[in-house]
A and B are shown apart, each in its own frame.
Chain A
Amino acid sequence: MTVARPLWTSVAGVTLAQSAALVAPAVVTGLANPTGYAVVLATALLTVWFWEGLFAALRRHTPSGHGITTALIIVVLVPVDTALWQVAIALSLGVVLAELVFGGRGFGFLSPAVVAASLLVFSFPEVTLAPGTTNVALATAPGAILLLFLGLISWRVILSAVVGTGLLLMLSVDGLNAPQVAAAMTFCVVFLVCDPTAASATNTGRWIYGLLAGGLIVLFSGGPIPTTEGIVFAALLASIFAPLIDHLIVLAHAKRWKTADA
């Protein structure tokens, strides 16, 4: 092969691009309470890197830093007044169960951030996740465009999730408050629902996956404005179904080749 490989065709490049996209929303979130935020961020980073270092040592791999994206997503989702030990436990379970036991970034089938956020809400009923705000949504836009440009998120998933949510909201409540719905959803849809390792991997599958996630968002939120918890659970359930969706697409596609070796 004599054609050079672009940087983003490595797992490290993907992590770099995702981290770059996460910087703006993470900074915007931190502006309200910089000190408290810095402590949560430090806890999150220490937790993910501790587990990654431990797994790398046990498996005799070079330590990797992919957990940085998980940590950045979690600090946007949790309010600064959450107990640090709760954040640490949820993140530990998230990165270990959804990523590290499978062999690291990209080998699992769920997003570690989604699993961490879900476990946080399941385990500690008093914790509520931070609702999406207009500022965070606006700060997400440039990163989303970068990820779309690099092909790390799929416009099919975004579009079908938006259509799924929009349609169901229009049917269930009167008067769709589009700006508020968009503000509440943008960050979570881009970084949780669209996670390339958790979403469907075929183009037809992506439409179904996005519609499913969009519909579940309305179902789990139970109101005119999607809640962060609702989106996290919708992303979790949709990504559990993603491999099944892909499998069905493969079966449908295989008809074309059915008698290929008669």
Chain B
Amino acid sequence: MHYTIRQGHWPSDLVAPVQAIDGVSLPDTAAVIGADFPGLRPVFAVEQGDEVAAGQVLFTDRKHKEITHVAPCAGTVAQIVYGPRRTLSACVIKRAAQATPRQSMPLDDSTDAAVRDVLQSRGMWPAFRTRPFGRTPSPDARPAAIFVNAVRGAAAPDPHVVLQARTELFAKGAAVLTMLTDGLVYVCQAKGHPLCPITNRVRVATFGGTMASALPGTHIDRLYPVQSGRQVWTIGYQDVVAIGYLFATGQYAADRVVAISGPLSESPKLVQTILGARIADIAADSMAEGANPVFHSGTPLSGREAVFLGRFDVQITATARPAPPRKASWLSATQGALIPTAALDRALAPRVLPVPLMRALSVGDSETARRLGCLALIEEDVAILSQLCTSGADYGLLLRQVLDELMEDAA
């Protein structure tokens, strides 16, 4: 089944990277960043200065000690930084030049319990995010469906290129996912040959059109809307490969193919690196001489300024440093109002009413926002509203506050 998405921006004015993997570019440091897991309070298993192997447990979640977060590469723990209320800010690893090869041994993937145990103890569990709320699922949760996002975003790597040499691992990973759910595993991809074999548990759906076609929120809305209290999970296609690799070889794979583009990159391209890589290290040779760029990790609309590659991101945009804000002109008020325009009506692909939702989010009315379907959305889905709205409000932030409130009520 093919879905053409017409809401949102058409990807046109962005320089598309060359769709061929340029080579392996490993950073000097890599990090697990707390911003990817808001509210996560870690219990560290290592200390600053410890030597770690790739895939070794760094810390566990204080609430769910089964869920581990692991080192993306071998090296030494250079820095552990806490955020407010003992949350994680960052755990930085200084990469060792030579990693010791480890033995390859397939893991048991025959039962739900075995698969869960492996994913949780070997650091792959945080690759999943729940809908509603967009958080790491609890260890015993059972989703109604799992969505694999393999639709190419604007200026992002083409999954068909990335998966070319990894087809079998991807298929293996998708098969493993079927153990976790009673429902279906939906592989969402662009038109073209199916990325993995279609079985009675693995469906392939194709999406095309605007930039919204690459958002899992759009896929869920069209294929299996979040309703009646059911929970679905989302995961990126490169994490599915990593899961396939983990079960095939028993080893943790932190490989990540990312696109480097943006106005300051000389030649937009794909590089193979690792999770949490320091962006300046891997992007240095694609920047113009003497450029002093700001790096954004994530999609052009929802990316945030970052030092390290985000856990769920596959693209980096390099832009010029913004000039200090101009003085307000005579026409501009200090704070703008929300003026309903046709662009806002055409911005969201999930079937929600944009302007009433924006009004509910602006005043923090979580009950109305819930009735309007905000549970189907996370920050990246509403990023476009912040760009199009005359009020200049950050709807991602407002949505998160409302979702946090609803999550507390549900708990």
Distance in angstroms between the alpha carbons of A15 and B376 in the assembled complex: 34
Complex interface: chain A residues within 8 A of B336 (CB): 10-11, 106
Chain B residue contacts of A16, Cβ below 8 A = 331
When chains A and B are docked, how far (Å) is the Cα of A251 from the Cα of B328? 39
Q: Which of B259-300 contact A (CB under 8 A)?
A: 262, 296, 300
Name which of B296, B340, B351 has the most chain A CB atoms within 10 A of its CB: B340
Q: Are A250 and B387 in contact (CB under 8 A)?
A: no
Separation of A16 and B329 alpha carbons in the complex (Å): 13
Q: Is the CB of B339 within 8 A of A1?
A: no
Q: Which residues of A sit under 8 angstroms from B319, Cβ to Cβ?
A: 2
A253 touching B353, Cβ below 8 Å: yes
Residue A131 CB within 8 A of the other chain: no
Out of A63, A105, A257, name the residue touching B373 (CB < 8 Å). Answer: A257
Query: Do A1 and B303 contact each other (CB < 8 Å), given the known contacts A12-B329, A104-B333, A262-B229?
Result: yes
Instruction: Identify whether the interface residues of A are mostly helix, strand, loop, or mixed.
Output: loop
Check if B301 is an interface residue, CB within 8 A of chain A. Answer: yes
B262 → A minimal CB distance (Å): 6
Residue in contact with A66 in the complex, picked from B229, B331, B355, CB distance below 8 Å: B331
The CA-CA distance from A160 to B337 in the complex, in Å, is: 27
Which residues from chain A contact B163 at a C-beta distance below 8 Å?
Answer: none
Complex partner residue of B389 from A1, A9, A12, CB under 8 angstroms: A9
Check B390–A106 contact: CB distance below 8 A: yes
Cβ of B88 under 8 Å from chain A = no
In contact, B339 and A106 (Cβ under 8 angstroms): yes
User: Chain B interface secondary structure, helix, strand, loop or mixed?
Assistant: loop
Q: How many interface residues does chain B have, given as a range?
A: 35 or more
**Min C-beta distance of A10 to chain B, whole Å:** 6
- The listed residue (B226, B368, B376, B383) touching A250 by CB distance below 8 A is B368
Total interface residues on A, using CB and 8 Å? 47
Q: Map CB proximity to A onto B213-242 as digits: 1 under 8 Å, 0 otherwise.
A: 000000000000011110000000000000
Q: Quick check: A62 and B373 within 8 Å, CB to CB?
A: no
A64 in the interface (beta carbon within 8 A): yes
Interface centre among A2, A104, A249, A250 (most CB of B within 10 A): A2
Chain B positions within 8 Å of A202 at CB level? 353, 355-356
**B341 interface neighbour in A64, A151, A251, Cβ under 8 Å:** A151
Query: In the complex, which residues of chain A have a beta carbon less than 8 angstroms from the beta carbon of B337?
Result: 11, 103-107, 197
A92-134 vs B, CB cutoff 8 Å, 1 = contact: the mask equals 0000000000011111000000000000000000000000000
A61→B228 contact, CB < 8 A? no
Interface set, chain B 328-375, CB cutoff 8 A to A: 328-334, 336-346, 351, 353, 355-356, 359, 368, 370-373, 375
Asked whether any CB of chain A lies closer than 8 Å to the CB of B43, the reply is no
Q: Determine whether B388 belongs to the interface, using a CB cutoff of 8 Å to chain A.
A: yes
* A222 vs B83: C-alpha distance when bound (angstroms): 69
Most buried by A among B330, B341, B359: B341
Task: Please determine whether B333 and A62 come into contact, CB atoms closer than 8 angstroms.
Answer: yes
| CB-based contact B392/A201 at 8 Å | no
Interface residue ranges, A against B (CB under 8 Å): 1-3, 5, 8-16, 61-66, 103-107, 150-152, 154, 196-197, 199, 201-203, 246, 249-251, 253-254, 256-262
Closest 3 pairs (CB-CB, A-B) = A106-B337, A151-B342, A262-B229
B interface, CB within 8 angstroms of A: 9, 132, 226-229, 262, 296, 300-303, 317, 319, 328-334, 336-346, 351, 353, 355-356, 359, 368, 370-373, 375-376, 383, 386-392, 406, 409-410
